[in-house]
């Protein structure tokens, strides 16, 4: 089995766990004041990790709920078992399992399985990106006022509410509109599929973006940090676009 097939199998194993519990009123525990986690996050992570450990016993793993290794050396699988836990707790359907594989800091494969509608986004370095097996591409919209932009609000938003509001105002002035999907992995995949033209967020973690950033890049998009340099995965800020509205979005989000 190749790495991409393993990523598919692992992401699907996580998604299957979440699907069994979706809409059944799962109890939240609290990591922070607004940051929930559930038994389903942990059960989905176990299912994902079991596949990776069985298929690639010598690879290392960084996973949101159980932690793990530095991701810049050797082969490391980076796992968010349930991206969109707030959505999950409220029964909103934008929830996904994200599985990425990096080798010496370079993305090799990424799979994001959207749990409820069974869309599976995937990419392999150099081979393009797909949705349910069919090639996808970023949009060709060059005009910011016609470009739809996704974003997210990190869990430390209470401390940074005003700063975030200022950034939102800058984007609202220039762009068509803003969507807050509630899953960073799906934000990225929706840019890759051309549904949204751009996405930015400050406060993401490696497991939110490892798979999705590769999927955007392989779909022909551009992914950077807020300073316009290539996105290094340990940067809290990510900007992912169709390339054409990238510079305009970078300008709009500068403080």
The one of Ca ion, ligand IPD, none whose footprint includes residue 154, by CB under 5 to 8 A per kind, is: ligand IPD
45 part of the interface to ligand IPD, by CB under 6 A: no
Binding ligand IPD by CB under 6 A: which of 11, 112, 204, 248?
Answer: 204
124 part of the interface to Ca ion, by CB under 5 A: no
Number of residues that bind Ca ion (CB under 5 A): 5
Running DSSP on this structure, what letter comes out for residue 222? E
What is the C-alpha radius of gyration for the chain, rounded to an integer number of angstroms?
17
Q: Which residues are 122's β-sheet partners?
A: 111, 130
The one of ligand IPD, Ca ion, none whose footprint includes residue 107, by CB under 5 to 8 A per kind, is: none
Running DSSP on this structure, what letter comes out for residue 59? S
Please say whether the beta carbons of 22 and 88 come within 8 A.
yes
191 vs 245, beta carbon nearer Ca ion: 191
The one of Ca ion, ligand IPD, none whose footprint includes residue 38, by CB under 5 to 8 A per kind, is: none
Strand, helix or coil at 239?
A: strand
| Degrees, nearest 5: CA angle 117-123-128 | 115
Which residues, in sequence order, are CB contacts of 108 under 8 Å at separation 6+?
3, 75, 101, 102, 124, 125, 214
Neighbours of 126 (CB within 10 A): 7
Among 183, 156, 202, smallest CA distance to 92 is for: 183
The one of ligand IPD, Ca ion, none whose footprint includes residue 110, by CB under 5 to 8 A per kind, is: none
Determine the interface stretch with ligand IPD among 42-50, 69-77, 146-154, 232-240 (rule: CB under 6 A).
Answer: 146-154
80 vs 187, beta carbon nearer Ca ion: 80
Restricting to residues 50-89, which ones interact with ligand IPD according to CB under 6 A?
80, 83-85
Query: Number of helices (H) and strands (E), helices first, in the chain?
Result: 7, 15
152 part of the interface to ligand IPD, by CB under 6 A: yes
Binding ligand IPD by CB under 6 A: which of 17, 51, 79, 184?
Answer: 184
187 part of the interface to Ca ion, by CB under 5 A: no
Residues at the contact surface with ligand IPD, assessed by CB under 6 A:
80, 83-85, 152-154, 182-184, 201, 203-204, 208
């Amino acid at each position: 089995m190749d790495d991409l097939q393993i990523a598919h199998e692992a992401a699907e194993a996580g998604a299957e766990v979440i699907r069994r519990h979706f809409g059944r009123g799962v109890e939240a525990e609290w990591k922070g004041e607004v940051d929930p986690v559930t038994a389903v996050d942990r059960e989905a992570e176990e299912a994902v990790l079991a596949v990776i450990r069985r298929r690639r016993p010598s690879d290392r793993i960084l996973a949101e709920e159980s932690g793990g290794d530095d991701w810049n050396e050797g082969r490391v699988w980076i796992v968010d078992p349930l991206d969109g836990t707030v959505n999950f707790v409220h029964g909103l359907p934008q929830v996904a399992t994200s599985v990425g594989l990096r080798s010496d800091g370079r993305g090799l494969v990424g799979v994001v399985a959207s749990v409820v509608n069974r869309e599976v986004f995937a990419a392999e370095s150099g081979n393009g990106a797909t949705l349910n097996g069919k090639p996808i591409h970023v949009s060709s919209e060059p005009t910011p006022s016609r470009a739809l932009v996704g974003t997210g609000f990190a869990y430390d938003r209470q401390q940074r509410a005003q700063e975030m509001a200022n950034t939102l105002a800058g984007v609202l002035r220039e762009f068509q509109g803003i969507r807050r999907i509630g899953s960073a992995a799906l934000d990225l995949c929706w840019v890759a599929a051309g549904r949204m033209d751009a996405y930015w967020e400050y406060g993401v973690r490696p497991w939110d973006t490892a798979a999705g950033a590769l999927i955007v890049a392989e779909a022909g998009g551009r992914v950077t940090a807020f300073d316009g340099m290539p996105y290094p995965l340990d940067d809290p800020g990510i900007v992912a676009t169709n390339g054409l509205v990238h510079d305009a979005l970078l300008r709009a989000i500068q403080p």
